[in-house]
Amino acid sequence: MEIQQLRVFLAVAEELHFGRAAERLHLAQPPVSRIVRQLERDLGTDLFIRSTRSVRLTAAGAALVSPAREVLTAAQRARTTALAAGRGDAGVVRLAYAGASTHVLVGVLAREVRKAYPGIEFRLNSQDFALPALARVLRGEVDISLGRWDFVPAGVQSRIIVEEHLVMAVPASHRLAANDEVHLAELAGEPFVALPPHEGSVLGDRLRRLGLLAGFDPDVVQRVPDSWTAMSLVGAEVGCFLTVSSVAENVTDPHVHFLRVLDETLPVHLRMAWRGASDNPALSPVLSLAERVWPRHHSLEGVPEA
């Protein structure tokens, strides 16, 4: 049983006239008759009662009408879906992101994708750290990753979403909590909370650099799995935590105060990254949409744009 056979059958079943069905299908009448006879042979039963004056459906023919319509509807839906996927209007795009600072940005993009491209399934994957999220892009496990990297490897394209500055989260009871700014030297001897010291950690790198320039080695009393946990420990007066301005903008806790770090250091950029050689056609429209939702920021002098 073929799609064309069902299409011809339905035309005859709805017109109850081979000539009118042929006109509707833009075919000659003999091919329409041949196709219906072949379908009847394939099924092993008559679908129409033919006479010189009329055409009527048999019981088998009447029973076939509804399933035939369902098959043709499903076939059209499959064709439409396949064409939309080929154009990039349908498919799956996976995004990995890390940290307390990106969930608002991700939410904005996800809502816009659903609105502009309802055929694209936008899957969000939360990561503890930015480096594993970038590795997943390289392995093809996700299409886009958000994170802070000083450099991205070959084969990965990126653009800056947000240019950030460093802030120090301190307990509300801290002696400097009434201030808005701080030099790291003012925190010499203080306990610190920090993320795990994995390779490529931007905040870990900046804490070490700033401590070295300030003349002391930061005393990390506890490692935390993520920024949310760090905020709870700062609020509990366990220690101070070096983070970025977007975290300060997204965290509201009366027990935590944020001080802008005045020491000069390498800039911190939140980037989106994707594989330049990706064969996912749905990725391109999402990247174009992200360009509008997250306007392009120019890189700061001294940090190469990937």
User: How would CATH label the architecture of 91-157+270-293?
Assistant: 3-Layer(aba) Sandwich (3.40)
Reported pTM:
0.64
What is the pLDDT at residue 125? 85
d(CA 305, CA 282): 25
So what's the pLDDT on residue 173? 96
Report CA torsion sign: 50, 51, 56, 59: negative
Name the residue ranges covered by the structural domains of the chain. 3-87, 91-157+270-293, 164-261
Can you tell me the distance from the alpha carbon of 198 to that of 203, in angstroms, rounded to the nearest whole number?
10
User: Could you tell me the CA-to-CA distances from 149 to 4, 128, 153, 231, 267 in Å, in that order?
Assistant: 55, 14, 10, 22, 11
CATH 2.60.120.1440 fits 164-261, yes or no: no
Residues with Cβ within 8 Å of 217's Cβ and at least 6 positions away in sequence, in order, are 211
pLDDT of residue 301: 32
Q: How distant, in Å, are the alpha carbons of 2, 22, 28, 103, 162 from that of 35?
A: 10, 11, 11, 58, 63
Q: Which residues of the chain have pLDDT under 50?
A: 298-306
Domains 3-87 and 164-261 share a fold: no
* pLDDT, position 298: 41
pLDDT for 304: 34
CATH (residue range 3-87)? 1.10.10.10
What is the secondary structure of 201-260 as a DSSP string?
Answer: -HHHHHHHHHHHHHTS--EEEEE-SSHHHHHHHHHTTS-EEEEEHHHHHH---TTEEEEE
Inter-axis angle of helices 59-87 and 3-15, to 10 degrees?
A: 130
